[in-house]
Amino acid sequence: MFTPRAPRIGVIGYGYIGRYLCQQIQENPEWGLELAFVWNRDTSKLSDLRPGLALDDLAQLGSRWPDLVVECAHPDISRQYGETILRTADYLPLSVNAMADAELEARLVAAAKTHEKRIFIPHGALIGLDNLVEVRDMWQEVTITFRKHPNNIDFSESGIDGSNISEPTIVYDGPVRGIAQQFPRNVNTMTTCALATVGLDRCRAVLEADPSLEVAIAEVRAVGKDGSIHESRKVQPVVGVSGTEMLAAQVGSVLRAAGVTLPGINFA
């Protein structure tokens, strides 16, 4: 009797997210997943892995035969290795803002089609992604708004001094493609929303820094060509630049991309 092998997962980046993902895969054998490799720029951080898991040269990832590669490191991974990954495996880039580079997006999509592989976009903090995607051709206009304390926004690439913000301030209002370049660590979910609906040049992004907030607020308003309206609002505690549900959301995306279903109730 033929028994299919467990899907093999390659993990790029062994920081906060990557380490958690690796631990969860190894501690939940009922998922039926197997780690193919783990790569990290600083190899000294991989010392706690079992022998044979660490990958020294990311260009050689094909030698580990991964079925799905998860990027948990930086958008530059997609730029430098995205096409290499897609020659061998499906690809789940958690740094979705890499797709704000139109040329890179085109290259990755072309590579995926050539090698018959898939690119998975994680839902992140976006509520109702399935509903938005199912009728994506219907949307006339879409706005996604984030409101956060300035301490929970990474201003390092924006040219803005967040420490000077003493009252609610709109620090960006414009196309998602622009905010993905100015605030790349903060707005992966905005890029996901744009890809799911009207595109990065038509989807409007608003980022408000509000010193009075102790939570992160994410709001989406999509207006359909037929007058229908989709609205969602999410309020949650925040750690660093991300909401507290971030780890669970990323693991959920990995399980869906790997095709994991468990006995009992599942949602289609």
Question: What would the pLDDT profile of 15-37 be if each residue is shown by its tens digit?
Answer: 999 999 999 999 999 999 999 99
Confidence band of 1 (pLDDT split at 50, 70, 90): very low
**pLDDT at position 233:** 95
Same domain, yes or no: 120 and 142: no
Among the residue ranges 2-11, 40-49, 64-73, 142-151, the one predicted with the least confidence is: 2-11
The answer on pLDDT for 2 being more than 80 is no
| 21 and 43 assigned to the same domain | yes
In a domain, 266, yes or no: no
Quote the percentage of the chain above a pLDDT of 90.
85
Q: How confident is the model at residue 6, as a pLDDT?
A: 86
Q: Do 72 and 175 lie in a common domain?
A: no
Q: Any idea what the CATH number is for the domain that residue 208 is in?
A: 3.30.360.10
Average model confidence (pLDDT) across the chain:
93
The answer to whether residue 186 sits within a structural domain is yes
Task: Grade residue 4 by pLDDT with cuts at 50, 70 and 90.
Answer: low
- Looking at the fold, whether 119 and 252 belong to one and the same domain comes out as yes
Domain that holds residue 141: 129-242
Residue 102: HSE in the Cβ half-sphere, 13 Å Cα cutoff: 6
Phi (first) and psi of residue 76, to 5 degrees:
-60, -25
Cβ atoms of 117 and 211 closer than 8 Å? no
Q: Is residue 76 part of a domain?
A: yes
Identify whether 171 is part of a domain: yes
Instruction: Examine residue 99 and state whether it is found in any structural domain, yes or no.
Output: yes
Percent of the chain with pLDDT over 70: 97
Q: Is the pLDDT of residue 48 over 70?
A: yes
pLDDT at 178 over 90: yes
Q: 25-29, 100-104, 201-205, 264-268 — which is least confidently predicted?
A: 264-268
Q: For 200-231, give one letter per residue: b (16+ CB within 10 A) or e.
A: beebbbbbbbbeebeebbbbbebbeeeeeebe
Query: What pLDDT score was predicted for residue 5?
Result: 74
The residue assigned the tokens 């060509």 is 225
Mark whether 76 and 13 lie in a shared domain: yes
> How many domains is the chain built from?
2
Pair 175, 191 in one domain: yes
Q: Are residues 139 and 237 in the same domain?
A: yes
Residues 157 and 91 in one domain: no
233 in the same domain as 136? yes
User: Looking at the structure, do residues 77 and 146 belong to the same domain, yes or no?
Assistant: no
Q: In this model, does residue 177 exceed pLDDT 60?
A: yes
Lowest mean pLDDT among 8-22, 124-138, 171-185, 206-220: 124-138
CATH of the domain at 68: 3.40.50.720
173 and 98 in a common domain: no
CA distance 235 to 146: 10
Instruction: Kindly state the average pLDDT of the residues 97-102.
Output: 95
Q: Are residues 57 and 145 in the same domain?
A: no
Establish if 265 belongs to a structural domain. no
Q: What is the pLDDT of residue 68?
A: 98
Name the burial class of residue 23, with classes exposed (0-12), middle (13-18) and buried (19+) by CB atoms within 10 angstroms of its CB. Answer: exposed
Mean pLDDT calculated for residue range 221-250: 88
